[in-house]
């Protein structure tokens, strides 16, 4: 596996209890001593708590709960959310990062989390990665009165694992992992959902297979994992060994330079597991068609669902493939794997799928284990269907499953830009 081991110096920085810490900063209060939550109490006791201060976390108050579930004996302050203010603070933190590194070496993961590749800057600053991380965290606190935690690793995944598993318990909120640390720092982790990318549903399925610690997965047969979870299983196996080939510089190109192809669909009734696969299949067919028409292959698949308003929430995840593809089968199986991992058996009202990290299909590099004959036949069949649709209309040829009640493809094909003409 050594050939897959990147040797970068990656920082993963997370702003500690971000919304609540911003509120404390605005009020001139110490978040480690202040019982503060961010929530809209005008919505009553059923309102959702968006964030709690580190002080309340230390008292066992969960970061996500309802207002009525908060303890009544801690003198809790409730601050109404100020999303515009939080975005302003997030922008100021990004400016701090850019004082130390260039934009191409920064990947903003979320409003309160970012990855920094500092590999090429250590000689310039005459510091090691730990010392530079400490200086960046100090700068954030000095300028904005916010506290941050940091994981340091030899790739993005390892930095994220160091952040999630160890940094928050460290006295200075910094933890550094190397490949040598994986067996004794990652493999003992249990329950499995403590590891980033393993949700509750996947944990349950892994437990049923006899896997209870991350080490159980790392020492398993990768073929067994792939059979059970598809591409996601193979990815998980490598992740348990600390292996991740993602580069921040590529992600920067993805978000700024490369185009993406995607589509979302709002459903007119509640869909559950048994029917949603038909929707996913039809959407991946359409995205594959766009890739073929533009002579592109994609390497990153994005998939998400939103639940009905009665329940709220949903999820959105992305997965990088081992090679570029325009195959509807591969895109569908990837979306299916993400869905099976994160779906909570709630009614679905919106589905979104997109693909990114594009390359021209004229320079396609196949996977070593790919059946090229099957891939070519699938591609040619797709091209033939594209030609028929171009000549005779979108509904001139569809899968037989388009006759199912759960299908929406015929109705959508009569729309213009997602709306009835």
Task: Indicate the pLDDT class of residue 251, thresholds 50, 70 and 90.
Answer: low
Domain total of the chain: 3
pLDDT at site 253: 46
Same domain, 394 and 264: yes
- On whether residue 251 sits in a domain, the answer given is no
Residue 208 has pLDDT above 90, yes or no: yes
Same domain, 155 and 215: no
Same domain, 164 and 106: yes
pLDDT at site 241: 96
Same domain, 198 and 170: no
Q: Render pLDDT for 59-118 as a digit per residue (tens, 0 to 9).
A: 999 988 999 999 999 999 999 999 999 999 999 999 999 999 988 899 988 889 999 999
Catalytic residues: 113
Q: Render pLDDT for 116-155 as a digit per residue (tens, 0 to 9).
A: 999 999 998 999 999 999 999 999 999 999 999 999 999 9
Residue 306 has pLDDT above 70, yes or no: yes
CATH number at residue 191: 1.10.150.20
Verdict on whether the full-model pTM lies above 0.85: no
Same domain, 306 and 292: yes
- On whether residue 244 sits in a domain, the answer given is no
Are the CB atoms for 173 and 146 separated by under 8 Å? Answer: no
- On whether residue 252 sits in a domain, the answer given is no
Please give, one letter per residue, the 3-state secondary structure of the chain: CHHHCCCCCEEEEEECCHHHHHHHHHHCCCCCCCCEEEECHHHCCCCEEEEECHHHHHCCCCCCEEHHHCCCCCCCEEECCCHHHHHHHHHHHHHHHHHHCCHHHEEEEECCEEEEECHHHHHHHCCCHHHHHHHHHHHHHHHHCCCEEEEEECCHHHHHHHHHHCHHHCCCCEEECCHHHHHHHCCCCCCHHHCCCCCHHHHHHHHHCCCCCHHHHHCCCHHHHHHHHCHHHHHHHHHCCCCCCCCHHHHHHHHHCCCCEEEEEEEEEEECHHHHHHHHHHHHHHHHHHHHHCCEEEEEEEEEEEECCCCCCEEEEEEEEEEEECCHHHHHHHHHHHHHHHCCCCCEEEEEEEEEEEEEHHHCCCCCCCCHHHHHHHHHHHHHHHHHHHHHCHHHCCCHHHHCCCCCHHHHHCEECCEEC
Percent of the chain with pLDDT over 90: 57
C-alpha closest to that of 160 among 132, 191, 197, 130:
197
pLDDT at site 255: 40
Residue 288 has pLDDT above 60, yes or no: yes
Total residue length of the chain = 421
Greater model confidence, 370 or 149: 149
Same domain, 301 and 166: no
Same domain, 305 and 317: yes
Look up the domain containing 199 and give its range: 187-239
């Amino acid at each position: 596996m050594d050939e897959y081991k990147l040797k970068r110096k990656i920082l993963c920085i997370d702003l500690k209890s971000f919304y609540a810490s911003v509120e404390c900063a605005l009020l001139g209060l110490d978040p480690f001593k202040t019982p503060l939550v961010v929530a809209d109490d005008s919505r009553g006791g059923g309102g959702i708590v968006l964030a709690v201060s580190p002080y309340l976390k230390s008292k066992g108050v969960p970061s996500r709960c309802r207002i009525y579930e908060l303890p009544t004996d801690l003198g809790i302050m409730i601050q109404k959310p100020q999303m515009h203010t939080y975005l302003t603070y997030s922008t100021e933190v990004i400016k701090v990062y850019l004082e130390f590194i260039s934009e191409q070496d920064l990947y903003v993961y979320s409003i309160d989390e970012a990855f920094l590749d500092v590999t090429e800057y250590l000689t310039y600053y005459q510091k090691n990665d730990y010392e530079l991380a400490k200086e960046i965290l100090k700068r954030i606190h000095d300028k904005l009165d916010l506290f941050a935690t940091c994981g340091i690793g030899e790739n993005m995944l390892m930095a994220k694992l160091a952040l999630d598993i160890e940094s928050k318990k460290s006295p200075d909120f910094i933890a550094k992992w190397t490949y040598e640390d994986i067996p004794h720092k990652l493999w003992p982790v249990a329950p499995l959902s403590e590891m980033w990318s393993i949700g509750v549903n996947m944990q349950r399925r892994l437990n049923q297979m006899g896997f209870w610690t991350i080490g159980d997965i790392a020492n398993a047969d990768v073929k067994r994992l792939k059979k059970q979870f598809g591409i996601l299983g193979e990815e998980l196996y490598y992740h348990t060994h600390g292996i991740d080939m993602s580069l921040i510089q590529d992600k920067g190109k993805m978000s700024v330079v490369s185009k993406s192809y995607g589509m979302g669909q709002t459903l007119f009734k509640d869909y559950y597991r048994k029917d949603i696969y038909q929707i996913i299949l039809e959407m991946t067919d359409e995205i594959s068609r766009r890739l073929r028409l533009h002579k592109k292959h994609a390497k990153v698949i994005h998939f998400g669902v939103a639940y009905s308003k009665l329940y709220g929430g949903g999820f959105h995840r992305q997965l990088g493939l081992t090679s570029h593809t325009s195959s509807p089968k591969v895109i569908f199986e990837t979306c299916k794997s993400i869905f099976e991992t994160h779906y909570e058996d709630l009614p679905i009202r919106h589905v979104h799928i997109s693909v990114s990290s594009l390359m021209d299909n004229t320079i396609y590099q196949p996977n070593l284990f790919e059946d090229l004959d099957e891939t070519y036949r699938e591609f040619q069949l797709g091209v033939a269907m594209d030609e028929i649709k171009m000549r005779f209309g979108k509904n001139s040829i569809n899968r037989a499953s388009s006759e199912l009640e759960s299908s929406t493809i015929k109705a959508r094909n009569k729309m213009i830009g997602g709306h009835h003409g």
